[in-house]
Amino acid sequence: MKFSQIITQLNLAPINQDDQPNHSLVNCPDQDPEIRAIANIETAESGNISYIEGGKFASYLAETQASALILPADPLLQEKATARGIAWLSAPDPRLLFAQVISVFYQPYQPTHQIHATAVIDPSATIGRDVYIGAYAVIEAGVTIGDQVCIHPHVVIYPQASIGDRTVLHSHCTIHERSQIGNDCVIHSGTVIGAEGFGFVPTAAGWVKMQQSGYTVLADGVEVGCNSNIDRPAVGETKIGKNTKIDNLVQIGHGCQVGENCALAAQVGLAGGVKVGNNVILAGQVGVSNQTVIGDGAIATAKTGIHHNVAPGEIVSGSPAVSHKIFLKATAIYNHLPEMYQSLKEIKKYLQIK
C-alpha cells in the first residue's frame, strides 16, 4: 500500500487548522513509499510505518529504518524526517493516529452470519438479525440477543440474560442469569459476567450463604479482557459504566459501581460495594477495600492498596495508599535507610544512648 493511500483512507486534510502541513506529501509529493506493515519504533524496518510520541523516543528518528513515521506537530522533527527521506504524518496525538493506521492494515476476525448446527438455543430465546452463533454455544431460556451479535464457540448464556447489538462474546466466556450487556461490548475468553458475589453471613455455627439475587449490568462500549470476573450482588446492581475498559484477570466484587471511561489494568481487585467515578485509572494489581469511594479522574499507580476514599483528581500510590507526591518522597528516603540507620547508631554512641 502506498503512503498516499493510507492518507486517503484516513481522510487527512493536507493542511491543519494552523496552516501547517499534515503530511510530508504536501512539500515532497514524490516521497511516496510502499508501506507493507506497521511496527514499533524500536524494530521498524524499511517498508514499515511507526510513530514517535514525545521526547522520550525522539532519538530514534536518527536511526530508525522505518519508511514512514507519525510525528508530533513539531517542525524540527518533521524536518529531520524529511532530510532522512522518511515520509511522515503529523498529529497532536501520534499514538491515536497510529491506532487508526493499525485499523487500515488489520481487522479482527469476523465470522460470517450463521448459527452452527451444534449450538443449543432454547426456543424461548430471542435472536436478532445477522448474528453468528458458534459451535457448542449454549443459549438458555428467555435470553435476548441483539442484532449483529457475534457469539463464538462454547459460550454459555444463562436464562434471562440480554446481549446488546454488535456485542462480541469470545470462546468460553460465561454470562450468568439476568445479566445485561449493552451494545458494542466485547467480552473475552474465560471471563464470567454476573456470577454470584461472595456473600456469606458469619454465625456461631459457621458461614450462612446469602443468595445473590441482584443483577450485573454492563453499559454500551464496555470491554472486558480474559479471565476476569464481575459478580452480581445480593440485591441491586453491579454496574460498569459506558466505554470502560477492563483488562485480563480483574475481579470486580458484588455491588460495585464503576463509572464511564475508566481503565482497570490487569489484576485489579475491587471488594464489594466499591464506587469508582468517571475517567478513573487503576493500574496493575491495585486493590480496593470494600465500600471505598474513588472520585472522578483519580489515578492509582501499580500495586496501590486503597483502604480509604480517594478525592476526585487525586493520584495515589503505595500500600496503604498515600498521595503520589508523598510516596515519591518516602521512596527516596527509603533508599537511604541503611546510611540513615548507620548515622543514628553513631549519634546514639556519641550521646551514650543505648
Nearest to 193 by CA among 134, 201, 167: 167
How is residue 194 written as a grid cell? 454476573
| Residue 304 near residue 320, CB atoms below 8 Å | no
For residue 280, the Cα-to-chain-centroid distance in whole angstroms is 11
Measure the CA–CA gap between 168 and 148, rounded to whole angstroms.
Answer: 9
Please confirm, yes or no, whether 172 is among the known catalytic residues: no
From the CB of residue 226, how many other CB atoms can be counted at a distance below 10 Å? 17
**Residue 38 CB neighbours (<10 A):** 18
Q: Please confirm whether the linkage preceding 320 is cis (ω < 30° from 0).
A: yes
Query: How far from chain centre, in Å, is Cα 162?
Result: 23
Which residues are CB-neighbours of 36 under 8 A, at least 6 positions away?
1, 47, 48
Q: Number of C-alpha atoms within 13 angstroms, CB side, residue 13? A: 6
Catalytic residue among 254, 307, 324, 336: 254
Contact present, 202 and 224 (Cβ < 8 Å)? no
Report, as residue numbers or ranges, the catalytic residues: 254
